[in-house]
Structure formats: structure tokens, C-alpha cells
Structure 1
Amino acid sequence: MAHLALRLDPTSPSALRVLGQVSATDGNEEKARQLILAGNSLNRRDRQSTLWLIDDSVQSGDIDRGMSYFDQLLRTLGDDRGSVIALLTELLSDPRAIAPMERILRRRPNWSEQFWLFVPGNAQALENAATLRVRLDKSMTPEDKKSDSALIASLADAGYYAAGFRVARAVHPELNEVGINNPEFSSSADVAPYNWQATGSNAFAVNISERTDTLEISSSPGSSGDIIRQLVRLNPGTYRPVIMLSGDYQDQSLPELTLSLQCAGSDERQNARLNLPRQRSEERQTLTASANCERYWLTLSTGYSMSAYDISIDRIDLVR
């Protein structure tokens, strides 16, 4: 049928593609390539021929050429790009794809934002995605900040802590490599968990107020557990936790608050009780960071409280 179609219409892209696929099945790769290239040159929107050329390029090790075909296809697909972008994120699991992807993404193709939204869902491509994202200037990244936030969170969840921080710092260069970021709650930068992150407990309403630079916590009656946390890198040593409340709580009964350190990937957790009004203790509360731990989860938690309460915090820090 393909031969007949080609005789009736010598410029039929689909007929050339079918004949090329037949040649490939017969083992004649060179003839297949010539036929499918000819068909694709007549209709660059032909999905099947372009996908064949992508696969042929990648299998032969020519990632640059494969990326050019990806770009060609994605630019012409309109909104129906999802399955092709999923294939592109799979290609990113190969480190050889980083440089050609960077060159194309710097041109800001019309599919770039959708690509970045897909990337965090591919666990095998995360480390290379981090390298790619850091290489691109901030002005070259998607306007949708959700994609950066999702990539950072996915890297941390997968245990790529250093890579996640590199992306976070590419987005917000003011982040500190060592120590707590945003101890005074003056930034709402969405680079969690390298900035403060609510733990998601339904028992607490948590808000970082840009107007007052405070952490606002409201609890429900009978609540306890983790409130907020941050992934931090610490120099080895002993630290004293510090908390500064906003307002006068001398006449208010407050729950016991603790700050804890837990080496990321470990179950062991150190706790230090924070000194609050009417809870003063002579016992010195400290936390110890080891040289053997790459990153720590720093978590603010509360003990059980029968009553609901509201607290505003100006600062949480660790002092050596």
C-alpha cells in the first residue's frame, strides 16, 4: 500500500515513513534513515517519523541531533506535548544530554515551562536536572516558580541534598551554605526545605509574615508534634538553641517547645528544650553536630497542650 500511495503521490510523507519503517524491519537501517528523513523534510509535524529520527539519533550516540528533532517536534505539537516531554525527561537521565538541552533551553522554546514542570517526576533524571538548572541563568528559567520549588523538594526527598541546595542557591543566591537560613523570618523564599517548611500537620496553622517578619503559629486544642523544619548544613560542634518571641507572654501559659537535630537519612534525633517565659531552667540545653553528617533536619516541635494557643516568633537560631 505504501508503494501504491507513493506512486499516486510522490511527496507523501506518510508513505515515505512507512517504507522507511519496512526497511528498518528488514535490517536496512541506512535506507530506512534516508526514506524517513525525506518524509520528515516534507512534513516536520509528522510525529511518528520525528520520533523515529529521535530514537535513531540517540541510539547512534548523536544526542545533539536527537535534541534538535525533539525541539522540532515539541514546537509544532501545540498543547499535546505531554507524552513527548516525558520522553525528553527520560533522555535527561543521560549526562550527555545536559549540554545540548542547555543550548536549546537558552533559546526559551515554547515548551520549556512544561518541560520543567515534568522534570521533578523523573527520579532518574533529578541529578542531571539539577546540573542543567544551575547552568541556566535565572532569567532563562521558567516564569512559573512552582517548577523550581518542585525540583528542589524532589531532590531533597530523593536524598540529593547538595544538588537540591545548588538549585535553591541558583534561585536565591543569598542563601547561606552553612547554618540556618532565614532565622529572623524576613524572607518567604519558596526553596523549602532549605528555608523554613511547615511539616503539614493539621494541628497547626503556620505562616511567615512578610509584614512583621515573624513566624506565626496557631494550634488547635490537644495538639502536639512537629511544626516547622529546615534542612541545614552545620559545622561540627556544640550549639545552644535560641528563640525570641514577639510580644509579652509572661501571663500566658505556653506549651513546651523543643528544637531538634536529626541527621538526614537517620532515625536518631537530639532534642533541646527552648527557654520560654515561665519555663526557665538552669539546665543548659545543647545540640551537637557531627562531622559525619552532611545535612541535618532542624525541627521545631511542641509538647502536648490541652488548650489552643497563638505564638509569634521573631527568631530561631543556633549559637556556638
Structure 2
Amino acid sequence: MRRRFILGALGATLAGATPGISSAAGSIAPTGTIFADTSDRDYRILVGGLPGGRIDRWAHAISLGVQAILSPDALLRVQTAGGRDGVTGANRLQALVAADGHTGALLPGAAPIAYLTGDPRVHFRPGEWIPILAGINPGVIVVRGGLARLAQPSPLRLAAAAPESPDLAAILAFERLGVPISPIFGLRDISAVARAFRLGEADAVLLAGEDIPADMASLQAANGSAICTLGSSDQAGGTRREQRFPALPTVEELASSRRVATLPAPLERAYQAVVAASRLDFILILPRLTPAVSVALWRQAALGAIGQPALQSAAAASAIALTVDSAGLALAPITAPPDALLALRQFLFTRFGWRPN
């Protein structure tokens, strides 16, 4: 509810700051603007999510920020497509949208997770996406009893939504740490997880997205302690500490301190792909073959949008880092090679008897 309020207030703020927003009047373009679309064709953002849902609310907030810069003479429509995991929206962008620069898609990280796990509904390839803007969330792993619990032989009961959800990053993180787990699937929100912690039914969880400090506090009351983060990507393609939680080690650092052997190379690449997808709160993309001038225009508009204080405040309040320059860096690991995809799917089947259906 907190994020819903923040984004709703943001929409009002941006619309108020931009009189006649539908006609794109009154907005400020980024310094050094060199592109402008003077056509009167409408623009569109396809939303991979439910009407009024989290991704839809972000899409409306972003659309208010980019519209005036994107084109002074055209409307920017937001259109939802499919369920909350974004698969339908991604499929529609791949198959039905002309790459003319007038349609983008805003998708959650769950969409590339579905691709990585071999979901048969998937008819898109993230390697063909052109990234424009990414919303990156921190991933913090909380364990009942903290680091000392990792030394116990009994499996950790990991609270998770499903194998094909962003919680897959936590499943693989514990494999990377050499810690046995017994996932408890079906826990899809923090209230259910907190209840499971209080009742002693769950031992670990991956926290991501909005209001992590408050979520951590609720779990600390049940003896939960943050032990590490998924980290963030550096410019060399490696992993560094999460800037919002600099005191916490990354999974890789913690594994090294525990002297745990690295995963087999294909599964390690799969782990990095899953972590990259789990870090994505959302990503704004264009279809492949979009003209370069249109890509530049969208990126220019996105840079202008994330420079607006209202959008910055909403992102900070939701624990989201907005980036245009590093959107490609955030997406790159998701284009995992075939051996990594096979290793991931074999891992899920041999460990949990799970296969996509």
C-alpha cells in the first residue's frame, strides 16, 4: 500500500508540474537535447502486468515523465497486457509490435525469470530487447538466527512464491553458499512471510523492492537477521556490494569466507542470469530493429524523466534505483547461453522435481 500511495502522489505531482500533460506542454527536456519527434502519431507503453498493479502504476508515473520530451505533438498511452508476471506483455511486444519506435514495454523481472526457467508460455527472447530504463531493487537475504544458522545441518526452510519467481535467486544463492534448503512455496507477500517467521514455519527469505528496512524490522522481531545481499553489477560485469546496504557482504563474498566451492560453470552462469532478473523491479524496453534515432529519443526522454525530483523521490521511497545508462548492464547477464539454461532446468528438476507446465 505504501508504494501505491507514493506512485499515486507522484502522478499527481508530475501532472501538476506539467500543465496539459496530454499535449506535452510545459516539460523540461534534458540538457543537450538534439532529438525531437514532431509527428502526431501516438506513443504507447505496453505494461506487462495487471491494471492498477505495481508495474502499471510505475508505467503511468514514467509516462508522465517522458511524454513531453518524447514528442511535443503526440499522446503517450499506457496499455496493460496480461498477468502480473509480464509474459503476455513480452510476447505481444515480440510478435505483434512493429519496431517503428512508437511502442515500448514495461516489464517486471518475473518475465525474464519465466524465460530462464523454460516456461512454455514464453515466446520472447530477452537478448533481442533494447533496454531504455531499468528500476533496480536490492535483494537482501534474511535468516532466522543469522549466520550461525548456516552451520546447522538441518535444511533451511526458505519462504518463496514459486520456483519460477524472483525468489529463484535465493534458491540458487543458498546453493552457492553450500547451505541445504527446503523451500516453502506459495508465500507471495511479506505479510505471509512475516507470519511464517513468527510461527517458526520459515527460516529464510529474500527481501526485494519497496520498504526493505521496515520488512527487515518485522523479521528481526522474529529473530531474523540480514546475512548478505545479491549485490549489484559493476561496469566490468562483476558483482559489488549493494550501495544501499554497504555493511552486508554479497553472496559471493559470503561463499568465499565459508570456503565453499564455486558452482559448475553452466550453473554459475545461470545463477548470475537469475540474480540479474531478480534485481529488476522493472525494465522499459523497445523491440529489436527499432531505428537508432528512436532508441536515442526514448533514452533521452527517460534521462529527463529520472532527473525529475518527484520520480527520484518515489524511487528512493520504494528502494528502487532508476538507471538509463546502466540498463543494458542490468539486462546483459539474462541472455544466458544454452548450457546455462539447461543446467538451471536440470537443477530445478533434480532438486525439487519441478518442471515448467
Give TM-score, length-normalised by structure 1.
Answer: 0.25
Which one has the largest radius of gyration?
1
Give TM-score, length-normalised by structure 2.
Answer: 0.23
| Structure with greater strand percent | 1
Q: Which has the higher contact order (CA 8 A, sep 6+)?
A: 2
